[in-house]
Amino acid sequence: MDDFEAAVMYSLQPPTDVSLRNRALEFTERVRNSIDGWRLCIQKLPQNYRPEVKFWCLGVLMEYFQTSTNTYSHLTSEDRALFRHEVSQYLVAICTSSNLKPSLSISNTQDPSSVPTYLRNKLAQLIVALIGSDYPHEWPTAFENMMAFLDLESIDQSLRTDMYFRIVRACDDEVTSVRATQVNRERSMRVKDTLRATCIQSLVNSWSKFLGNVPQNAMFACWALDAARRFVEWIDITLIANNQFLPFIYSELTRRTEPNRTSFRASAAATLNAIVSKRMDAALKISLLESLRINELFAAIPFGEIVIESNSVLQVESDLGLRSAVGEIALLVRSVAMEAFECMKVSPKDTRLSEITNHALPIALGILLNQETILQDPRNEDAVEFSLELIANYVNLCKKSGIDQSSNQNLEQILNVIFKIAVFPTDYDPAQDDDAANFETARAQLITLFRNIAVTAPQHTFSVLLERIQALQSQSQFQASEVELMFTLVENVYDLAQDDPAVIELVAVVLGHAPTELSAMFPTSSRVAQASSKSGGHQMASAALMYFDLAARSHRILSRKPDVLFGILQSFFGSHGLQSSDRYTRSRCAYLLLRLVRPLRAVLADKFLENFMRALVPLVSAQDSNFLAYEDELYLYEAAGLVLGMEHANSYTRCAFFSLLITPLVKTMEETSVSTAFPLDQGMKCLRAAGSLSKGFTVLSSDVSPSISPRKLDQNESSDQGSMGVNESQTVSGVNVTLTLPVDIVSEWKSCLDAVLSMRRRDPSGMEVRKHLLFFFHRMVETLGEESIPYIESTIPDLLKESCTAPDVTSLLLLVNQAVCKFGEKLFTTMDGLFTGIVTRIFDFLPGSNLRSLVTQSEEDRERVELLKTYMAFLGCLCGNNLSGVIITPLNVPCASRVVQSVIQSATVQWNATQGGLLIIKQCCFVLQSMVSQWSNNPAIHSILSGTGFSAFISEHIPLVCVQAGITAMRICNGNFNRPNVHSVLRENIKLQHISYEYCSTPFLQQLCTVILPSFGCAPLLCEQYGKYLTTCENIDTLVPIFADVLKQILNIK
């Protein structure tokens, strides 16, 4: 090893001697940076050095082309000629050194003495760099020289052929490819244009001669096809699509497997794909596809053998970046079909294109049908994706262009394939299968494809699916996975076309086949099923669960088919439903039963009340408390309540079954309240069960609601409120139900409420008891109606005393608001007695006269803001339901003034968007509207306002409220008053101005337009104009943008 070799090796593999290493690095850097360093490296290349040293020398030579200074271009022409000559000589030398002969066997087994691949690749890159720099002006014979090198008989054919094609591939990578063109367009176009004009024909001929004696030159044929694939995108297509290449490509694609013969199907398919994908206009592309005889080719491909070979990939093809044969063929088929689809946009009636499509589809479908074998090698995933993409695009084409007999047949073939491959394997377990996510993704794609076909050809899809279902039902034995897929597909078509007669017939056929007749079920595990995000995990759920899910979705059909509904109910309560041995199945079934009952409660109460209740009562009364989970029991209690709460059902039967359900609950709560021997938790469970049962007796409708509620205050637009009467009946789920309950049921509910209230004795300050008590009280307000008023009157004071935090008061205030909205003026006496206690407790948690301190962001302030919003909703409920007089009764006069001041302060706080400021302002404006309109003529109001008179009070305070509230609203929305919530706030504000002007006239207007608005910087002329608009315009919506302009002028918002 001489000094040069040693220095390079020490720089690559540093020795332990630091000084020696530094000297080596210093030497190599000096060579690398020297203007004549290339001379030394070229001199050293022929030496018998280690491959690493030669690679380093080639790397230094490559830097002459790659550096930003492009050192090679600064050399003299003589030096560049010498550079090219020496590199060319080294190319010959590297191939003639007998001890450096590369191994080129198909198995790619490297001989220890062979030329390393990295060295051959580096030399090829260097030669291509010279071509890119000097061709054609200084080296016009570059490619002729390469072809002459290929014919040198003095060099072993394997060696020269190997290096020749490495140079060809490097030329494509670095100079002529699309990517290389984007990097250096001038160089790429110069080389390509010169090649086209001179020797491209000879170059292509040099490749085609390797396509002859394949058994002896198999690898050469593969390289030749790769070269043609790379260059066809920019050369004349006839140079490749001719009798030199196409016969060989077709023979490789259609050849039967032969012993001792290598087949290059992947290379052939990739080359043909490049030919098909070459860009050209539609007419030329159609002619090309016809000349390639694609239909004959696709029909002759031995698909079965290709599937068998799908898991074997030749190393040489893998090194070239090719997929397996099945992957490249799938890509070829997709490309051909996509080109045909594009041409159809120009020539939609050309039958040649549809024939091509008809020949491409069977191959894509065959790949999908054999995907289990194909996907044993993960590298073949692309083949399935290409096939799915082709089919999906074909379906989209059918959707746009319409359906004929041929496309109908093709769609039916696609549907049949979906029926076969979308089925879960019988041993499929997502908890143990690493490929579960892949299968779920592929299945989701198939379901999406099915939905698209159903949209494209609905009637044909429904017909095919119905035939499939009937064939499945006629079998004596079948897999549950097939049943699951049937239900899944039916659910999808039902979602797409619920009212289609064919879909209704389809669903009826499926639901008429009860799951008790399904002999095969999936082996199910509650643990695994619960881990799945889907209903029962699909693959782990029984077919019965899919049946029940479909039944719950199909309630519109079942409402017209009571005979089918009866069979479904039997299945729900049978051994495959709520009586199943599997806990997850029981749980899911309870939920689905509730989903079914909600829309069908009227039908069930009318036709199946006794049958339904006789099946349900034993389940919630079972001695085995572990048979149904507690949450599942709540589902059943709610389902029972929904049916029993229907007024037109048989009264005696209702009362009897209601008593069977409520009596045990009441008894347990009573025992819990008087004895510590009974766990309090058990009583709480009974309380929740009673609450779920009461949901069926709820009456909620705008027809029975008083004129204003907190929810109405939160809507975008507030309509003018008027008094509303309470109707005798209302519509729930399309059925008339009266507000009255049988006396026996009312008595039972009152006993239940007494038992709930008595449980407070066990833990009066317990948050859990309080939470459930308030929940049940909410239910009883709706269930008992006016019968609950005495309970409200007696219980609220105690609950107020026990309220220790702002959230406690807020939750209690929500109950009061509900009662006020429910009963309206009937609650006057009760609210008269409760009002002072309520507002006094509220003020205990609000910051007195300094509500502006709530603008901070602490958690306590957030809770108090929530309390303030609920308090304003409370006042809004009183005012909107003709109960504002409660505030000024003799009993409540002491706190009335503070109530009024709190409303004014709340309206003028500078809220921000995150605190619900717009809602608070809107509520305050509504409350003030009611006070102005209802109190202006009330003499008692003078004493509340310290004798100032209400008109004077309005004139003094309301203008400031209107302007300050408007400014805050505009600041929150940054001047965009067209936002719905901001627009509704400004409407309420202007309505307050209108009402104030109506009752106070000139004093109010003068205070607003000559004092308040000017004090905020509003121009006098604009103030005067707004005053005229306010007094003459009756349309609130017309005034909103005018008032917004005034506020924008104050805020300097453009």
- What crossing angle do the helices spanning 405-421 and 436-456 adopt, rounded to 10°? 150
Tokens representing 783 are: 């269930």
Q: Which of 709, 783, 794 is nearest to 747 (CA)?
A: 783
Residues 494, 498: Cα–Cα separation, whole Å: 5
* DSSP SS3 for 36: coil
Report if pTM > 0.85: no
29 CB-near residues (< 8 Å, 6+ apart): none
> Which residue reads 């090796």 in tokens?
9
Q: Is there a contact between 1026 and 1043 (Cβ–Cβ < 8 Å)?
A: yes
- What pLDDT is recorded for position 99? 39
Q: Which pLDDT does position 705 carry in this prediction?
A: 40
Q: What is the pLDDT of residues 714-727, one digit of tens each?
A: 444 433 333 322 23
Give helix then strand counts, H and E, for the chain: 52, 2
Whether the CB-CB separation of 603 and 733 falls below 8 Å is answered with: no
pLDDT attached to residue 681: 85
875 class by beta-carbon count within 10 Å (0-12 exposed, 13-18 middle, 19+ buried): buried
Amino acid at position 544, single letter: A
Question: What residue type is 665 in one-letter code?
Answer: L
pLDDT (tens digit per residue) in 837-890: 999 999 998 876 566 656 666 788 888 889 999 999 999 999 989 898 899 888
pLDDT at 479: 74
According to the model, what pLDDT value does residue 476 have? 72
Distance between CA atoms of residues 496 and 490, nearest Å: 10
Helices (H), 370-479: 371-374, 381-401, 405-421, 436-456, 458-474
Tokens 């001047």 appear where? 975
| Contact of 1026 with 1013, CB cutoff 8 Å | yes
For residues 839-873, b (16+ Cβ closer than 10 Å) or e, as one string? bebbeebbeeeebeebeeeeeebebbbbbbbbbbb
The pLDDT value recorded for residue 516 is 47
Q: Give residue 392's identity as a one-letter amino acid code.
A: A
How far is CA 773 from its chain centroid?
39
**Alpha carbon distance 874, 864 (integer Å):** 15
Distant-in-sequence, close-in-space partners of 757: CB < 8 Å, separation ≥ 6: 773, 791, 795
Can you list the positions of beta strands (E) in 207-304?
Answer: none
Supply the pLDDT for residue 624: 61
Cis bond leading into 425, ω under 30°?
Answer: no
Residues in the chain, pLDDT under 50? 98-113, 516-540, 700-738, 947
The answer to whether 762 and 672 have CB atoms below 8 angstroms apart is yes
Give the pLDDT of residue 101.
Answer: 40
Residues 6+ positions from 57 with CB-CB distance below 8 Å = 8, 41, 42, 44, 45
Residue 353 CA, chain-centre distance (Å), reads: 37
Burial group, residue 269, by CB count within 10 angstroms (0-12, 13-18, 19+): buried
Token readout for 3 is 């000094």
The predicted structure's pLDDT at residue 519:
37
Q: Which two tokens stand for residue 37?
A: 């360093």
Contacts of residue 558, Cβ cutoff 8 Å, sequence gap at least 6: 511, 551, 564, 565, 568, 596, 600, 603
- What is the C-alpha to C-alpha distance for residues 368 and 328, in angstroms, rounded to an integer? 15
Rounded Cα distance between 142 and 85, Å, is: 11
CA distances from 739 to 182, 638, 706, 708, 842 (A): 78, 19, 15, 20, 33
